């Protein structure tokens, strides 16, 4: 069989918690072809822009290839044996000297279940400390706490099909269109078929609102008031299920007392800022629609009242008996590909593996026997922020960070950088060579990444899918479970970590879920109730069966038998078997709005980037949709601040300040602004949103308040600006501290946008000089120092290696009002072209050939830009998104840009009357 004929291998997407199935095959030229898996129940063949671009992110560029140890100020490559010995001996020494709680692991929902299981087993079972926490603390911990309080276990009762069966879908605190795009597509298609109603609750007007029948732009943090009001309304209007409440729940009276204390419409109006008619429309629809699904995510979880927000939603579903029934359930959608798997194997500091608890002596005894250890941790460890604060105070002296980038993603990130810099011993396992966190590592360990590693992940609907190895791993990269097990063996825990492969680990974990539940006989659609998380049916699977395992939803009582829904019969995992109502009260976010910091900053995600961009940032397609760190603000605020589209603004909070491009739109309400948190010190000089965020967190879950920070905004004028393309990634390192820059991946190289307080002529000289100084002499170059734009190009072997344009005003490439955008997109494609090329000529004449006037990419799949679309709308009279698709192909790939195409259509219509 030739390479070209290699068969399609089934696996799971690397990114979000939808957990889409993919099929991939390696081509003889080393590339990876990826398509949606039509047989996977999460997506039935659909993929979003990020999933479709997976093949573009698996190259060797930027990969971490060998273990390294820091000596003084530089790193030395070492063999695995030395790296592992270093970690094991340093951990052992610190434990011996300062006790077991002086070490910690900070892990991630991007580890596979097998990696996660082994990390947890080592820390809690053998080191004997529970100081292992995960970035899921920042992500899902309020939902975990809310589920446990209401249902007795951390369980999502529903499944994706419910989104297609529902007559009403309430999307709250979720930008599903951009963050769970395939679920959004499934809902959009279902809506077209069955006309279900959709309500979006979000202070921002997001692309998700595109399918909404009603958008409730609530004040940040006011969800509890809204849902308490709903509970009161349901009760007053006898829209509750009395039988269900009686037989299946406890605690309604207290919850209602809270709700009524504050639940009249006027109070709800005052706190949420909504109009009475909007509130009533929502309440009436909820009351009268039996098949209602409420989907919620970070707008709910990432709050100082996150857990109570979750319970205020669950209360309304319990009151109406709508839990785990077809088309009728609350639905917490998870963020990371394996956020769920981590929760299952005890990745959070306050839980044990397999949903067992520290305070249950039966559980702890069973685990001791199962793992054959007498050193099991006896009480919960430190939650993420407390963990880093304990590093700061010196209580923790060694931390091992795996598959997460806390120097970017934790609140008050500058402080986290200082904490890591001062920590006596930092180990980081990652698959890329440079991240903000890696810069603080004493030991750097190269992990296999997506496409190389093999194991399982659990998605938002409890579905366990295999991630399979698709490509050989580069350099010395090893699976995370292997790295952890080798360290464990070297620390002296050999017998417990003698795994041959990932299947060994999975079997052990599946057996663990059955502990104390052996008496449950297999039955088809009713789950065991003490700990519904049971993988009985997978506890003895062969390695061959493991490798061929089809996606299945836990509990799995028999091999290949999925459970789609839980709790439908009204029996819960609490000791009484009844679900609990929880009394909740509205509390405003912890920030202090003042004259000094008058705006509310909301942070979150954009469509085509994943978190700190270590992988999506490698794809030029994904980097062109929104290419710079930006601040979205309302027209009114922009006017008052005298800020124009594309201006730089300084955003400051009590914690620090950053520079962002102003993006003026109708998304945010007056007084509120939004910034994505993806950019970091590796790709911009001053644009890391978490610099601004305080450490305020939910007292129950420990989840930080990422969605509400008091900030100030002021224009940050500059006198010159440059767009620079280069084959080289490190041009930014040649700049002085005086210049502000962002660096973006583009075709064959990088695009830097640089602003400066120097005059255009000075900036031009500065750039030209550092490029020439750094280059071998005798290189061909062209230098045009003209007004208003000066240009420069450096050739290598007759082909463009670096080129730039300097001016006092280059319009923003992220301009959404981009119909006026200047024609710089040809710059993206200049690298590697000879002098004779018409595009290179365009650099010097300043006139772009019309075929290169595409504009900012809107459709990442088909690479269609804003100008091409606008032209089609105007000249080919496109009246619908479908028409645009026919004319330009935009929107005909994954569909993630459909909302934006609709917005463009509307905008042109408004403009042209």
Tracing tokens 């671009």 back to the chain, one arrives at 53
Q: How many CB atoms lie within 10 A of CB 244?
A: 17
Least distance in angstroms from the C-beta of 19 to ligand SF4: 6
Least distance in angstroms from the C-beta of 904 to ligand MGD: 20
Number of residues that bind Mo ion (CB under 5 A): 2
Question: What is the crossing angle of helices 361-371 and 502-513, to 10°?
Answer: 150
Least distance in angstroms from the C-beta of 653 to ligand MGD: 11
First CA to last CA across the chain, in angstroms?
61
Determine the interface stretch with ligand SF4 among 18-26, 63-71, 203-211, 821-829 (rule: CB under 6 A): 18-26
Q: H or E element: which one contains 457?
A: strand 455-458
How far apart, in whole angstroms, are the C-alpha atoms of residue 160 and residue 44?
12
Determine the interface stretch with ligand SF4 among 42-50, 621-629, 737-745, 870-878 (rule: CB under 6 A): 42-50
Interaction residues for ligand MGD, span 456-485 (CB under 6 A): 480
How far apart, in whole angstroms, are the C-alpha atoms of residue 10 and residue 467?
8
Helices (runs of H) and strands (runs of E) counted in the chain: 29, 34
Chain residue whose CB lies nearest ligand SF4 = 51
Tell me if residue 559 falls in helix, strand or coil: coil
Interaction residues for ligand MGD, span 187-216 (CB under 6 A): 201-204, 206
Least distance in angstroms from the C-beta of 73 to ligand MGD: 22
Least distance in angstroms from the C-beta of 335 to Mo ion: 3
Least distance in angstroms from the C-beta of 693 to ligand MGD: 5
Using CB under 6 A as the binding rule, whether residue 13 contacts ligand SF4 is answered as yes
State CA 77 to chain mean position distance. Answer: 32
Tell me if residue 177 falls in helix, strand or coil: helix
Q: In b/e form, how buried is each residue of 606-629, taking b as 16+ CB within 10 angstroms?
A: bbbbbbbbbbbbbbbbbbbbbbbb
**Nearest Cα residue to 366 out of 351, 492, 499, 358:** 358
Least distance in angstroms from the C-beta of 516 to ligand MGD: 32
Tokens representing 305 are 């009242």
Number of residues that bind ligand SF4 (CB under 6 A): 14
According to CB under 6 A, which one of 19, 346, 381, 687 is a site residue for ligand SF4? 19
Q: Which does 41 bind (CB under 5 to 8 A by kind): ligand MGD, Mo ion, ligand SF4, none?
A: none
Using CB under 6 A as the binding rule, whether residue 430 contacts ligand MGD is answered as yes
Using CB under 6 A as the binding rule, whether residue 404 contacts ligand MGD is answered as yes
Dihedral of alpha carbons 815, 818, 822, 823, sign: positive
According to CB under 5 A, which one of 335, 570, 604, 646 is a site residue for Mo ion? 335
- Go through the chain and tell me how many residues it has: 913
Using CB under 6 A as the binding rule, whether residue 173 contacts ligand MGD is answered as yes
3-state secondary structure 482-503: HHHHHHHHHHHHHHHHCCCCHH
Least distance in angstroms from the C-beta of 382 to Mo ion: 20
Please enumerate in sequence order all residues whose Cβ is within 8 A of that of 211, keeping only pairs 6 or more positions apart, or say none. 177, 184, 187, 188, 191, 198, 899
How far apart, in whole angstroms, are the C-alpha atoms of residue 367 and residue 389?
30
Using CB under 6 A as the binding rule, whether residue 47 contacts ligand SF4 is answered as yes
Using CB under 6 A as the binding rule, whether residue 34 contacts ligand SF4 is answered as no
Q: How many CB atoms lie within 10 A of CB 253?
A: 10
- Quote the radius of gyration of the chain (alpha carbons, Å): 27
Q: Which residue's CB is nearer to ligand SF4, number 219 or number 620? A: 620
Determine the interface stretch with ligand MGD among 122-130, 429-437, 531-539, 789-797 (rule: CB under 6 A): 429-437
How far apart, in whole angstroms, are the C-alpha atoms of residue 165 and residue 194?
9
Least distance in angstroms from the C-beta of 897 to ligand SF4: 13
Using CB under 6 A as the binding rule, whether residue 132 contacts ligand MGD is answered as no
Interaction residues for ligand SF4, span 124-183 (CB under 6 A): 180-182
Using CB under 6 A as the binding rule, whether residue 48 contacts ligand SF4 is answered as yes
Least distance in angstroms from the C-beta of 506 to ligand SF4: 21
How far apart, in whole angstroms, are the C-alpha atoms of residue 410 and residue 721?
31
Q: Which residues bind Mo ion (CB under 5 A)?
A: 139, 335
Q: Which residues bind ligand MGD (CB under 6 A)?
A: 16, 108, 110, 135, 138-139, 172-175, 178-179, 201-204, 206, 218, 220-221, 223, 297-300, 302, 335-336, 402-406, 408-409, 429-432, 435, 447, 449, 453, 480, 602-605, 607, 609-612, 614, 677, 689-690, 693, 706-707
């Amino acid at each position: 069989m030739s390479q070209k004929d290699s068969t399609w291998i089934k696996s799971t997407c690397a990114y979000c918690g939808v957990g889409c199935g993919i099929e991939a095959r390696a081509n003889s030229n080393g590339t990876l072809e990826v398509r949606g898996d039509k047989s996977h129940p999460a997506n039935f063949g659909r993929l979003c822009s990020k999933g479709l671009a997976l093949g573009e992110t698996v190259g060797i560029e930027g990969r971490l290839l060998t273990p390294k140890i820091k000596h003084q100020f530089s790193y030395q490559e070492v063999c695995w044996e030395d790296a592992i010995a270093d970690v094991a001996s340093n951990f052992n020494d610190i434990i011996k000297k300062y006790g077991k709680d002086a070490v910690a692991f900070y892990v991630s929902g991007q580890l596979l279940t097998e990696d996660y299981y082994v990390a947890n087993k080592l820390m809690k079972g053998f080191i004997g400390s529970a100081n292992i926490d995960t970035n899921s603390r920042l992500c899902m911990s309020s939902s975990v706490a809310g589920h446990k309080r209401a249902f007795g276990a951390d369980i999502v009762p529903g499944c994706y099909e419910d989104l297609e069966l529902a007559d009403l879908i309430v999307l709250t605190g979720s930008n599903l269109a951009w963050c769970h795009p395939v679920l959004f597509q499934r809902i959009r298609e279902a809506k077209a078929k069955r006309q279900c109603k959709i309500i979006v609750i979000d202070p921002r007007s997001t692309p998700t609102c595109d399918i909404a029948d009603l958008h409730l732009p609530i004040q940040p943090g006011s969800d509890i008031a809204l849902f308490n009001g709903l509970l009161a309304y349901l009760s007053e209007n006898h829209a509750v299920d009395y039988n269900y409440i009686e037989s299946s729940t406890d605690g309604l009276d207290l919850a209602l007392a809270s709700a009524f204390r504050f639940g009249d419409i006027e109070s709800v109006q005052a706190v949420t800022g909504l109009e009475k008619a909007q509130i009533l429309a929502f309440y009436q629809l909820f009351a009268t629609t039996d098949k209602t699904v409420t989907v919620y995510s970070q707008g709910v979880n990432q709050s100082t009242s996150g857990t109570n927000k979750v319970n205020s939603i669950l209360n309304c579903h319990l009151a109406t008996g709508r839990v785990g029934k077809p088309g009728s359930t609350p639905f917490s959608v998870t963020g990371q590909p394996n956020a769920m798997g981590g929760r299952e194997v005890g990745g959070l500091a306050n839980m044990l593996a397999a949903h067992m608890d520290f305070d249950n002596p039966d559980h702890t005894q069973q685990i001791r026997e199962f793992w054959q250890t007498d050193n099991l941790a006896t009480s919960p460890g430190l939650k993420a922020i407390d963990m880093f604060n304990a590093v700061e105070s010196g209580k923790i002296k060694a931390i091992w960070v795996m598959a997460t980038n806390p120097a970017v993603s934790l609140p008050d990130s500058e402080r986290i950088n200082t904490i890591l810099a001062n920590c006596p011993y930092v180990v980081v396992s990652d698959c890329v060579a440079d991240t903000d966190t890696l810069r603080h590592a004493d030991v750097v360990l190269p992990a296999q990444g997506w496409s190389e590693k093999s194991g399982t992940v659990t998605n938002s609907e409890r579905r366990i899918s295999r991630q399979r190895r698709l490509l050989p791993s580069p350099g010395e990269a090893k699976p995370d479970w292997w790295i952890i097990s080798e360290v464990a063996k070297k620390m002296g825990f050999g017998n417990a970590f003698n795994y041959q492969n990932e299947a060994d680990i999975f079997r052990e974990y599946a057996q663990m879920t059955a502990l104390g539940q052996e008496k449950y006989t297999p039955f088809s659609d009713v789950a065991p109730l003490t700990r519904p998380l049971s993988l009985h049916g997978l506890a003895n699977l062969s390695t061959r069966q493991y490798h061929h395992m089809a996606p299945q939803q836990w509990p799995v009582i028999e091999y290949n038998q999925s459970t789609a829904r839980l709790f439908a019969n009204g029996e819960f995992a609490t000791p009484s078997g009844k679900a609990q109502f929880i009394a909740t009260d509205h509390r405003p976010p912890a920030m202090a709005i003042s004259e000094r910091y008058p705006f509310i900053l909301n942070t979150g995600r954009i469509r085509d980037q994943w978190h700190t961009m270590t992988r999506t940032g490698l794809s030029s397609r994904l980097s062109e949709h929104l290419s710079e760190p930006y601040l979205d603000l309302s027209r009114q605020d922009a006017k008052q601040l005298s800020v124009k589209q594309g201006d730089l603004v300084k955003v400051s909070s009590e914690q620090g300040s950053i520079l962002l491009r102003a993006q003026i739109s109708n998304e945010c309400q007056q007084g509120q602004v939004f910034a994505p948190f993806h950019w970091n010190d590796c790709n911009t000089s001053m644009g890391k949103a978490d610099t601004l965020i305080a450490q305020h967190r939910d007292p129950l879950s420990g989840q930080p308040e990422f969605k509400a920070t008091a900030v100030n905004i002021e224009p940050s004028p500059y006198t010159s600006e440059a767009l620079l393309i280069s084959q080289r990634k490190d041009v930014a390192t040649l700049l002085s501290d005086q210049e502000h820059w962002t660096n973006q991946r583009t075709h064959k190289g990088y695009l830097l946008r640089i602003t400066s307080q120097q005059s255009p002529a000075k900036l031009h000289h500065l750039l030209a000089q550092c490029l020439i100084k750094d280059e071998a002499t005798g290189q061909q170059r062209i230098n045009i120092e003209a007004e208003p734009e000066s240009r420069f190009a450096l050739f290598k072997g007759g082909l463009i290696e670096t080129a730039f344009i300097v001016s006092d005003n280059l319009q923003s490439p992220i301009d959404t009002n981009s119909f006026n955008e200047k024609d710089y997109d040809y710059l993206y494609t200049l690298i590697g072209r000879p002098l004779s090329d018409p595009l290179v000529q365009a650099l010097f004449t300043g006139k772009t050939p019309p075929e290169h006037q595409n504009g900012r990419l809107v459709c990442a799949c088909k690479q269609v830009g804003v100008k091409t679309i606008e032209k089609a709308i105007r000249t080919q009279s496109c009246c619908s998104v479908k028409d645009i698709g026919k004319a330009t192909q935009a929107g005909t790939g994954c569909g993630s840009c459909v909302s934006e195409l609709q917005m463009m259509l509307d905008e042109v219509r408004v403009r042209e009357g």
